Amino acid sequence: MTTEVNTKNLVQKDKEHLWHSMSKYNEKAVPTVAKQGEGSWFTDIDGNKFLDGVSGLWCLNLGYGREEIAKAAYEQMVNVSYFPLTMSHVPAIELSAKLSELLKGSYTTFFSNSGSEANEVAFKIARQYHSQSGHPEKYKIISRYRAYHGSTLGALSATAQANRKSKYGPSAPGFLQVPPPYSYRSRFGEGADSDLAAADYLEDVINFEGPETVAAVVLEPFISGGGVLVPSPGYLTRVQEICKKYDVLLIADEVVSGFGRTGEMFGFMHSEGVQPDIVTMAKGLTAGYFPLGATAVSTAIYDEFKKQGDSEHFRHVSTFGGHPAACAVGLKSIDILERENVTARVASKGKDILSELRELEQFDTVGEVRGAGFLFGIELVTDKESKTPNEELTVKVIAACKEKGLIIGRNGDTVPRHQNVLIIAPPLTSTDEDLRFLLDTVKTAVEDNQ
């Protein structure tokens, strides 16, 4: 057991040597230091127990302490500890084939280490594809405001969250943004028609820029960190129609939405007839047990890279991308998802949770509750009439939940003055008791802060 002295030493070392993600410096702040995890819960070095209501960073889909996942990594490491994908190894072959099966199409996968890298790979592939198919002028990438696509320079340029970009500009050239499907704060009105109008605006931008210059549209089927924006099912179908019309590739960023999070294996599967040209993945791919990113490319796109020449192949390499142990962990995580029928349970339970969370809309400070599967957003406002974002209340509710043993998040460092959405995304394997605790805690925290 960690002693009081050891705890103080750890906290001091933390303050002196560890740079925390997304955190303002605070001399008096005491970090939450995890020591052990099991299921949907973790315990800190002081013995406090918390339900992880955001699955780490949206990735711990199968919860803590799954020994069979750890064993899969161990067994692979003692067999082949490392091997580059300039050649090949068995786990990468099997995982790439499995991803093609899950995507319900014919795909070839390039492995990297993270979602940011997976999207960087997608952008390079899109531009090279058009160049090699006779349209080198098609280089522009269109994304949506409030969306997050990564922290590396290209992925950050596609990210349309001003706070994430502040002081890191200028962005890489060739990246454009359009309004998202966000009927609660839409310039196009409300409901499904608003979402379709947002899609039509995308078409206008393609035409204004010149279709001959646009390479791809990248989007999360459900905007996650930007505030959990849930479009109507027809939106993505319409976007795909527009992309096909103008020979623009559709890149589905499934880093958060994928692997059961939204009640389908992938978020795009909620929309009829949609089959992206490129799909990027990370996070839930390994259930957070190992770093791994993946960029799955449809056969029609991949065929352009089979041409012979000095620069027709994809000239990109990742030292640790597709690490044998990471791929073994990915295979085991998918096996558990399928064997335990996790996605179907998430779809069913998610509807019940969303229905109960929407009871909070009785309060004047709760503007809208949104969600899909085990991905929920609660937008807090000063009052329903003005819809003024209420960041102060958001911080108070998060603190109240933590005091009661529940970790939830918000859309922090995204859009100036609009960081007012509570984000809830528990592990997909959370028990009924876990979910009951989560609901009761959130509802109490909101009600007590009215």
* Exposure on the CB side of residue 243, measured as CA atoms within 13 A: 26
Residue ranges of the alpha helices (H) in 359-405? 391-403
Say what the pTM is.
0.96
The verdict on 164 and 187 lying in the same domain is yes
The predicted structure's pLDDT at residue 329: 98
Residue 282 in contact with residue 294, Cβ under 8 Å? yes
The predicted structure's pLDDT at residue 6: 85
- Separation of alpha carbons 283 and 56, rounded Å: 10
The verdict on 262 and 373 lying in the same domain is no
The verdict on 353 and 396 lying in the same domain is yes
Point out which residues pair with 298 in neighbouring strands: 107
Residue 162 in contact with residue 198, Cβ under 8 Å? no
Q: How far is CA 61 from the centre of its chain?
A: 12
What is the domain-level CATH number for residue 254?
Answer: 3.40.640.10
Helices (H) and strands (E) in the chain, counts: 14, 15
Identify the domain containing residue 398 by its residue range. 4-65+341-448
- Separation of alpha carbons 62 and 39, rounded Å: 8
Q: Of the candidates 324, 339, 354, which is a domain's last residue?
A: 339
Q: Of the candidates 320, 339, 358, which is a domain's last residue?
A: 339
The verdict on 83 and 168 lying in the same domain is yes
The verdict on 61 and 110 lying in the same domain is no
- Separation of alpha carbons 82 and 342, rounded Å: 31
For residue 53, is it left (φ>0), alpha (ψ between -120 and 50) or beta? alpha
Beta strands in 196-292 (DSSP E): 214-219, 249-253, 278-281
User: Which residue type is seen at 95?
Assistant: L
- Separation of alpha carbons 207 and 227, rounded Å: 29
The verdict on 373 and 282 lying in the same domain is no
The verdict on 204 and 228 lying in the same domain is yes
Residue 203 in contact with residue 214, Cβ under 8 Å? no
pLDDT along the chain (450 residues), means of 10: 74 90 85 95 96 97 98 98 97 98 97 98 98 97 97 95 92 96 91 91 98 98 97 95 98 98 98 97 98 97 94 95 98 98 98 98 98 98 98 98 98 94 98 98 97
In 303-314, which positions are buried (b, 16+ CB within 10 angstroms) versus exposed (e)? ebeeeeeeeeeb
The verdict on 307 and 334 lying in the same domain is yes
Residues whose CB falls within 8 Å of the CB of residue 239, separated by 6 or more in sequence, listed in order: 199, 202, 217, 219, 250
End-to-end CA distance of the chain: 40
* Token reading at 312: 């027709």
Q: Of the candidates 294, 316, 339, which is a domain's last residue?
A: 339
10 Å CB burial of residue 279 (0-12, 13-18, 19+) is buried
The verdict on 308 and 355 lying in the same domain is no
What is the domain-level CATH number for residue 370?
Answer: 3.90.1150.10
Place of tokens 């970790």: 407
The verdict on 91 and 30 lying in the same domain is no
The verdict on 255 and 357 lying in the same domain is no
The predicted structure's pLDDT at residue 2: 55
The predicted structure's pLDDT at residue 3: 67
Place of tokens 């190894």: 89
Number of domains in the chain: 2
In degrees to the nearest 10, what's the CA dihedral of 204, 209, 214, 217?
-40
- Separation of alpha carbons 158 and 149, rounded Å: 6
Pairing label, strands 34-38, 41-44: antiparallel
The verdict on 175 and 319 lying in the same domain is yes
